[in-house]
Amino acid sequence: MTISAGIGIGNFPFADGHGFWRWVDLCEAGGIDSIWQSDRLVGSEANLECMSVMAALAGATRRMKFGMNVASLGLRDPFLMAKQCATIDVLSGGRLLPAFGVGSALGSDYSARGVTTRGRGQRTDEGLEIISRLWQEDSVDFSGRFHTYEGASIAPRPIQDPMPLWVGGSAAAAIERSARWGTGWQAGLDTPEQVAPVIAAIKSRAAELGRTIDEDHFGAGFGFRFGSSDDPVSRRYLDALGARLGKDPLPFVAIGDAEAIIERLRAYRAAGAHKFILRPMAADTGEMLEQTRQLIDQVLPAVDAMNRAEAA
């Protein structure tokens, strides 16, 4: 079992594409495990489309893994998604980490496009089965409420066998999806105290279904900033997060020095998480680079020490 620290972005704070690639190069050279792109399709805030980012990272990196955190399967065609993931996995030499969820009913991705949220859970359930089968079977027949396929197949299939299929969400339906179809689970905006019972429930339900999920395939994430909660960037981030959650946002982030971030990692690790998606709080290219450099220099050595301690 290993503990790993990836990095996530929920918006596009860079001045241009050049700044983004400088940041990717820093992550690749600095030992960041993986990059995770959030999936937001509609909105005025700058944000990249996640599958396009996956394809770009496949060609621009050689070591890092990368994934979606998480792709809204209730809004996407599962056959196309299965084909896109397989293609990216082949071209990257097996480094894609696909992760799926239903998509938020509170955001504008559904409403702005005139797509009803009714049935999005069942659409996601059907999509997970279809994608999983297309990655493994020569020919897929499927007849559901939302999707019908006869003799469907994709080639080439993913290099990874089995292909990872991470599921996001903490509701009862997400627990069922994770246990039934997932090879891993990624928390959303959850504290360590909230993560622990979800991980336990997924393990229990998977055992009832005759499945197991690797102990180190449970993940969590949080925003971080080397600095103060009173500086303008932290304040904007906390105000937006507090409005979204309707509660105090501080338990969901780590702001301060390296030890504050490391302590939060340890708390999630004690709750059963091994994989981490850390999201820098940054307003521009320079801050993204600086926050990431400090993460690499001051936090990754502690992650390495945690791995050595677990292996001892």
Residues of the chain with pLDDT under 50: none
- Quote the CA–CA distance of 131 and 113 in Å, as a whole number: 24
Question: DSSP label at 122?
Answer: H
Structural domain boundaries, residue 205: 4-311
pLDDT for res 290: 98
What is the domain count for the chain?
1
pTM for the whole structure: 0.94
pLDDT for res 105: 59
Convert the pLDDT of each residue in 130-165 to its tens digit. Answer: 999 999 999 999 999 999 999 999 999 999 999 999
- Quote the CA–CA distance of 79 and 109 in Å, as a whole number: 20
Q: How far is CA 217 from CA 52, 78, 182, 273, 288, in A?
A: 25, 23, 10, 8, 27
Which element (helix H / strand E) includes 185?
A: strand 184-186
Mean predicted lDDT score pLDDT of the chain = 95
State the CATH number of the domain containing residue 127: 3.20.20.30
- Over its C-alpha atoms, the chain yields an Rg (Å, rounded) of 19
pLDDT for res 104: 67
Q: Beta strands 99-101 and 71-72: pairing type?
A: parallel
pLDDT for res 111: 72
pLDDT for res 97: 98
